[in-house]
Amino acid sequence: MDKNIVVETKDLTKKYNGTTVVDQLNLHIYENEIFGILGPNGAGKTTTILMLLGLTEPTAGTATVAGHNPTREPLQVKRIVGYMPEKVGFYDSLTPRENLKFIAELNNIPYHTIDAKIDEILKAVGLSKQADQRVGTFSRGMKQRLGIADALIKEPKVVILDEPTAGLDPEGINQILDLIASLPKRGTTVALSSHQLYQVQRVCHSIAIFSRGKVVVAGSLDDLGRKALAEGHYRIEVEVAQASPGLADILAKVKGVSKVETKDNLLIVSADSDLRAELARTVVHANVPLVQMKIQEFSLDAIYMKYFQEKG
Amino acid sequence: MVTIIRKELADYFTSIRCFILFLLVFLVGAAGLYAAWQGIRSNPGDSSFVFLRLFTSEGTAIPALISLLALIVPIIGITLGFDAINSERTGGTLSRLLAQPIYRDSVINGKFLAGMVTLAIMVASVVGIVGGYGLRMIGVPPTAEEIIRLFLYVVFTIIYGAFWMAIAVLFSVVFRRVATSLMSSVAVWLFFGFFYTLMIVPAVAKSVDLMILLRRFSPNTLFEEATTVLLLPQWRGSGLFAVGEGDISFMLPNALSLGQSILVVWPQLVSLIALSIICFAISYILFMRQEVRST
Ligand SMILES: Nc1ncnc2c1ncn2[C@@H]1O[C@H](COP(=O)(O)OP(=O)(O)OP(=O)(O)O)[C@@H](O)[C@H]1O
Ligand SMILES: [Mg+2]
């Protein structure tokens, strides 16, 4: 993945009547990555997104989207950024096709290509059958799908989705996540906010966790998982047939192992690299029957909880 | 902006609201025509400005067309504007719209212009229809002066409607709820249409001069005066030249010339345009600085 920064904020701050909602935010989103914005309700995710689009003026600091300042050059930014708001709405008396056509025309998409594009995008979000039904009759999830189609119709360089999977059925979630995951290949950088940690973990390359307007953690998911769960170490679970007292000490002596914890017949080994092969050999050598061994998969859930437990 | 105007117009012309308005306008046209038929038949005397009398004659029970229009034009203006911005906001379409590469003001300008076009079509069509049928009814073609006067009348009426639309759009920017903005617009209309001129001014004003002056603060009065001068050149009623009893100039035998009429209505025209612009400017400024999000 190239390392061109597409979205960058420098000390971005937003205050509403003296209350700081976004506090000196520094974010980097790289080209063709999927970036997840997490954080509890009221953390300032939506406010940040609005500032990135130039829909709200920052109180201090700057944002840069593909080299443009959204406050000073809103049109340049809006030309290349697709956006799906938190509470997405459409003209109820129009059909999805008409709604999308209006947006396409506002974006000066060549007239003869509009219809084909609409068909394609409606198919991608699973609304082909409802293309000519009034939006007023749509369920929440159907509107949500249309919202994603709407953000993508202009084939944006950057697409910002505020809670894209809210209200979708499980199948819809899969479909939309697959669609989102396919965007970087087409040259679209994605930023999405969500409360669904599992979904974020599934599609995002990098995340930032917000809390009270500040970023508490940011980085690529792999790094974060390692850092957060084992202070920068790998954790390997070794399960043996029965508890054997001396094993922990033996394992602790393996080169690269920093700590071994024992829980009955489960040993949790912290190491600075993936030492599974080495550990297996040692266990077998010590004549202890090895049941299974796995590298502990971190979950975003655990990272998230860890940061919010620390704060209390 | 052209795209927005086109979409707004398409919205208007496919909406039930607009259909009802057109129905109302044509009903008013028919009623006005009937009134003119009764009025002219019962008092065929005066031969000057016969064609204009189509618009100004009262029937036995039905008011003249200009009175009817003066009543419904504000309603049309309010109906076209009261939910312009806040319906987009509550519907969640505003943030989506403003995330497109368009200038923010083209949203409010586009809506206002589309409303003006709709309003113009309604006013022009009712005047055109009444004129057309009236011509067949009385058989006297309009003089050039009458055509000019009618044209000015149409322009005035559109501006008057635009003023009410500007008020309604202003409330649609200020209030988040559609019901609130509608009620506020109607309240302003009731205030100027009834309470102000009929109750407050007579109660406050000690002299006739003061009364005339105070009445002029009402856009309704401005419009009423202007249309009277334009379409009833002979009339020196209580509106513009209101005078004490026994004043000799009460009813001049010869009418105001076209040039004189225009001179007389000029201040009214300027005031109405200024009022509309002020209302629109306030809504424009508020809209440009307002938070986008719907909560
Ligand atoms: N117009 C406003 N005036 C005052 N405060 C506001 C305004 N808009 C938002 N806020 C405050 O800003 C804070 C951040 O709101 P924001 O919508 O960015 O949160 P969020 O992270 O998107 O939350 P959620 O997960 O619920 O979507 C909240 O505390 C909210 O009360
Ligand atoms: Mg939010």
Per-residue pLDDT tens digits for B105-157 = 999 999 999 999 999 999 999 999 988 988 888 888 888 888 998 999 999 99
Ligand 2 centre distance from Cα of residue A268 (Å) = 38
Q: Are residues B101 and A106, on separate chains, in Cβ contact within 8 Å?
A: yes
The pLDDT of residue B13 is 87
Is the predicted pLDDT of residue B26 greater than 60, yes or no?
yes
Q: Please report how many Cα atoms fall inside a 13 Å half-sphere around the Cα of residue B133, on the Cβ side.
A: 17
* CATH for A5-224 (3.20.20.70, 3.20.20.60, 1.10.3720.10, 3.40.50.300): 3.40.50.300
**Nearest C-alpha in A relative to B93:** A89
What average pLDDT does the segment A203-211 reach?
92
What average pLDDT does the segment B88-110 reach?
91
Residues on chain A touching B11 (C-beta within 8 angstroms): 91, 93
pLDDT class of B72 with cuts at 50, 70, 90: very high
Query: Phi and psi dihedrals of B196, rounded to 5?
Result: -65, -60
pLDDT class of B219 with cuts at 50, 70, 90: confident
Q: How many CB atoms lie within 10 A of CB B95?
A: 24
With beta carbons less than 8 A apart as the criterion, state whether B18 and B118 touch.
Answer: yes
Residue of minimum CA distance from atom 29 in ligand 1: A42
pLDDT class of A258 with cuts at 50, 70, 90: confident
What average pLDDT does the segment B58-78 reach?
88
**Nearest C-alpha in A relative to B6:** A102
Closest CA to B18 of B146, B117, B128: B117
**Higher per-residue confidence, A171 vs B62:** A171
Is the predicted pLDDT of residue B239 greater than 80, yes or no?
no
| Domains of chain A by residue range | 5-224, 233-295
Task: Return the residue matching tokens 């029970």.
Answer: B61
Strands A214-220 and A206-211, bridge-based pairing = antiparallel
Which ligand has the minimum distance to the alpha carbon of residue B290?
A: 1
Is the predicted pLDDT of residue B240 greater than 60, yes or no?
no
How many residues does the structure list for chain B? 295
Q: What CA–CA distance (Å, rounded) separates B123 from A93? A: 26
Task: Return the residue matching tokens 């002020």.
Answer: B278
Q: Which of A55, A92, A106 comes nearest B102 by C-beta? A: A106
Q: How many CB atoms lie within 10 A of CB A148?
A: 25
What average pLDDT does the segment B14-19 reach?
89
Residues on chain A touching B294 (C-beta within 8 angstroms): 87
Shortest distance, CA A163 to any CA of chain B (angstroms): 14
Strands A5-16 and A19-30, bridge-based pairing = antiparallel
The pLDDT of residue A305 is 78
pLDDT, tens digit (0-9, with 9 covering 90-100), for A64-104: 999 999 999 999 999 999 999 988 899 999 999 999 999 99
Assess if residue B38 is contained within a domain. yes
pLDDT class of A45 with cuts at 50, 70, 90: very high
Amino acid identity of A32? N
The pLDDT of residue A251 is 87
pLDDT class of B248 with cuts at 50, 70, 90: very low
CB contact set of B55 (below 8 Å; sequence gap of 6+): B32, B36, B64, B65, B66, B127, B130, B150, B153, B231
Number of the ligand 1 atom closest to the C-alpha atom of A22: 14
The CATH code that applies to domain A233-295 is 3.30.70.100
Q: Which of A85, A93, A105 comes nearest B96 by C-beta? A: A85
Domain that holds residue B49: 2-289
Is the predicted pLDDT of residue A1 greater than 70, yes or no?
no
State what percent of residues in chain A have pLDDT above 90: 55
pLDDT class of B245 with cuts at 50, 70, 90: very low
What average pLDDT does the segment A141-166 reach?
93
pLDDT class of B220 with cuts at 50, 70, 90: confident
Residue of minimum CA distance from atom 3 in ligand 1: A16
Is the predicted pLDDT of residue B242 greater than 50, yes or no?
no
Looking at residue A53, the DSSP 8-state letter turns out to be: T
Shortest distance, CA A50 to any CA of chain B (angstroms): 9
Assess if residue B120 is contained within a domain. yes
State what percent of residues in chain A have pLDDT above 70: 95
Q: What CA–CA distance (Å, rounded) separates B137 from B32? A: 13
**How many domains are there within chain B?**
1
Task: For a ligand 1 pocket test, name from A12, A45, A57 the mutation site with the most ligand atoms within 8 angstroms of its C-beta.
Answer: A45
pLDDT class of B44 with cuts at 50, 70, 90: low
The pLDDT of residue A297 is 67
Residue B243 burial (C-beta neighbours within 10 Å; 0-12, 13-18, 19+): middle
Q: Which of B15-29, B57-71, B232-246, B279-293 has the lowest mean pLDDT?
A: B232-246
Task: For a ligand 1 pocket test, name from A9, A13, A15, A16 the mutation site with the most ligand atoms within 8 angstroms of its C-beta.
Answer: A16
pLDDT class of B55 with cuts at 50, 70, 90: confident
The pLDDT of residue A286 is 86
Closest CA to A9 of A196, A205, A218, A186: A218
The pLDDT of residue A103 is 94
Q: Please report how many Cα atoms fall inside a 13 Å half-sphere around the Cα of residue A10, on the Cβ side.
A: 7
Residues on chain A touching B103 (C-beta within 8 angstroms): 75
What average pLDDT does the segment B241-256 reach?
46
pLDDT, tens digit (0-9, with 9 covering 90-100), for B253-288: 556 777 888 888 888 889 999 999 999 999 999 999
Residues on chain B touching A58 (C-beta within 8 angstroms): none
Assess if residue B295 is contained within a domain. no
Q: Please report, for residues A5, A70, A86, A219, the alpha-carbon distance to residue A64 in angstroms, rounded to integers and kept in the order given.
A: 10, 7, 22, 19
Task: For a ligand 1 pocket test, name from A12, A13, A21, A216 the mutation site with the most ligand atoms within 8 angstroms of its C-beta.
Answer: A21
The pLDDT of residue B12 is 87
Q: Which of B4, B96, B100 comes nearest A88 by C-beta? A: B96
